[in-house]
Every structure is written in structure tokens, then in C-alpha cells.
Amino acid sequence: MSSPTARIARLCGVVSVGLVLGAATLAACGGTGNAASGCGQPFREPLNPNSLQHVIDPSSVTFTTDPPTSGPHMFAPPPRGVVARQLLPAEQVTILEAGDVLIQYRDAADADAAQALRQTWVTIAPNATLKKRIVATAWTYKLECGGIDQPSLQRFVASHKGQPANGGN
């Protein structure tokens, strides 16, 4: 029979291994519990140097990021709410400049879940060219997700909705 000290040492070793494995799993999954469908961390992108430009022909401009988080935009009211068509990049930036968060989904199967996030200051639209299934953007900020991660998307919206562009309109 082992001594109480040896049993405690063995128990501490087992707990330590469990903590290390748990931390490694959490880090590998981005903290969401499911790396395939969860979101990464929101990140800030550099301000596009052409963010002061208003354009008449939204198809004539290029952007430094995809989807854009700043850049040339239209001098027109932005589309709002649930939009049934894919938006041009200049339209996307117009939405962000006004202070809205834009949530775009790549797969039609995600449409209903994405639309459940609709609220004031949030625009929802399809975008078949996204590299990730779900991308939320705000002025110079982006959140990329492998699927609908309601808590992460709601936190992003709460942090960025209603904050119009500073120095980029």
C-alpha cells in the first residue's frame, strides 16, 4: 500500500496532465469547443487609404481586404435588414460606414440561422465568395466563423453596432 504522500503526488500528476490536455484542446479549438463551426477572435484590419472616396459606380473600385472593412463607398443610403442578394464590396463598406454590422453567410443552409441575428444596426446578406461560412464585419473589424456561433456573433455585434466610421466618411 502506498503512503498518503505518494497518493497525493500521483493525484497531482494526474490532475496536472488533465489540465495540460484540457488547455491544449481549448487552444486548438479557439475556445469555442468546436474549431470547425466556431469563430476565431475578432481582429482589426488597417484602414483602406481610399476610405474617404465616394463612388458612383460601385463596380469600378478595388479593395485591400475581402470582404472589406473600409474603403471607397457609395454616396447613397445603405441597404439594411435582411438583404436577399450578394452585396458589392462598395455597398458593404457603405453599410459599415453608417455604423451597421454586416453578417454575411456563404452557404444557403445558414440563411435562417444568420437571419436570427437580425436587429437594429445589423444587416444580413449572402456572399458566395466568402472563404469562411460566416463573416461579420464592422468598420475596420472582422470576425470569421466556420459556422453559426451565436454567442461570438452576438458579442461582435454588441461591441461594434452603432459605431460609424471615424474619419472615413
Q: What pLDDT band is residue 2 in, cutting at 50, 70 and 90?
A: low
pLDDT given for residue 11 in this prediction:
43
pTM above 0.85, yes or no: no
**Among candidates 112, 115, 111, 74, which has minimal Cα distance to 95?**
74
Residues 6+ apart with CB under 8 A from 12: none
Looking from the CA of 54 toward its CB, the CA atoms found within 13 Å total 7
Q: What is the pLDDT of residue 12?
A: 45
Higher-pLDDT residue of 134, 37: 134
Q: What pLDDT digit, counting tens, does each position of 11-47 carry?
A: 444 434 343 334 333 333 344 344 567 999 999 999 9
Residue 64 has pLDDT above 50, yes or no: yes
Among 13-17, 72-76, 124-128, 160-164, the range with the most confident prediction by mean pLDDT is 124-128
